[in-house]
Structure 1
Amino acid sequence: MSNPIYAAYAPAAPYFDLVRGALGDLVEGEHFFDIITDDTIYEVLYDVPGWPRIIKGRDDLMAAFRGYVDGIALQSADKLIVHRTDDGHVVVIEYEVHGTILATGVKYNNRFCSIIKIENRKIAHWRDYMDSLAAWNALTAQAGR
């Protein structure tokens, strides 16, 4: 059974479920926020208004994702490719997400590549790359497009 504290993050569930499934038995915990360390570093190598380049710690990451789910609802996440390296201590995942920008109703589709460092069966560091143009186009599009 899912932790009720995570109910507010339901609009990002497809992403969280994809990540959890990709990491399988390399990590312990049911939900995405259960499988990260308290002092995790979540680094994004792109600029999106309102999203910091580096997020330090589980609490700040949860706060950032609250902003995400207030603006975007994902319907699915797919096309997962998993590359395990360094005896499973580093995992690279490629995937796509599909959703809607809530303020405009514009469809949001994006591709990502994430490099994940695992320590003591938890995510200690996350480095993210995405199709910045796809995000920009979705976030700046007008309703009805």
Structure 2
Amino acid sequence: MTIATTLLQQHLQWLVDEPQQWQELIAEDIVWDLPYAPSLGHPLRLEGRESVLRHASWFAGAVRDFHFFDAIVTATDDPLHAIARVRGEGTIAATGRTYRQEYVVFLTARDGRILHLREYFDPVQAALALDAPVVGVSSRSI
């Protein structure tokens, strides 16, 4: 096990269930890239601890009973990098709809903390659960 794989496992375990412990994992200058989030009207990138904490808090409030499962965390040749494929499920508070998602997460560590996350997810699954449009896609173009 490497520092990055340990941090990634703890990130998945504590993000929603133990937010105080999770906060101890992240660097002050953390960057969290969410390449598909803009299609839901969310930021492409979160920079800095406060921005990341606001987003994590929003998610925890927006998705009730969220949990990750079936995580496969993989080490790379560099002990400061790890990758995970993981499923998640919860209930969208505003709609009552079930939110099911599969994520791919890349993590970079520095000094025993999470420096960078890059998270891929299916924005269509999120839009359906949120009852929200996918930005840039109209029903006529499908």
TM-score by length of 2: 0.74
Partner of 2:45: 54
Find out whether 1:82 has 2:55 as its counterpart: no
Mark the CA change 1:75 to 1:56 in structure 2 (over 3 Å): closer, same or farther: closer
Query: Deviations along 1:81-112, whole A, 9 cap, x unmatched?
Result: 01101332100011011100101111111000
Q: CA deviation at 1:134?
A: 1.0
Gaps of 5+ in 2: 1-7, 14-19, 133-142
Find out whether 1:32 has 2:26 as its counterpart: no
Between the aligned partners of 1:110 and 1:70, the Cα distance in structure 2 is: 17
Cα pair 2:91 2:98 within 8 Å, conserved: yes
Q: How many correspondences in the alignment?
A: 119
SS, match of residue 40 in structure 2: coil
Partner of 2:108: 117
Gaps of 5+ in 1: 1-17, 24-29
Identical counterparts, % of pairs:
25
Cα pair 2:71 2:84 within 8 Å, conserved: yes
Cα pair 1:22 1:93 within 8 Å, conserved: no
TM-score by length of 1: 0.73
Partner of 1:140: 131
Question: 1 or 2 for the larger relative contact order (CA 8 Å, sep ≥6)?
Answer: 2
Between the aligned partners of 2:22 and 2:35, the Cα distance in structure 1 is: 20
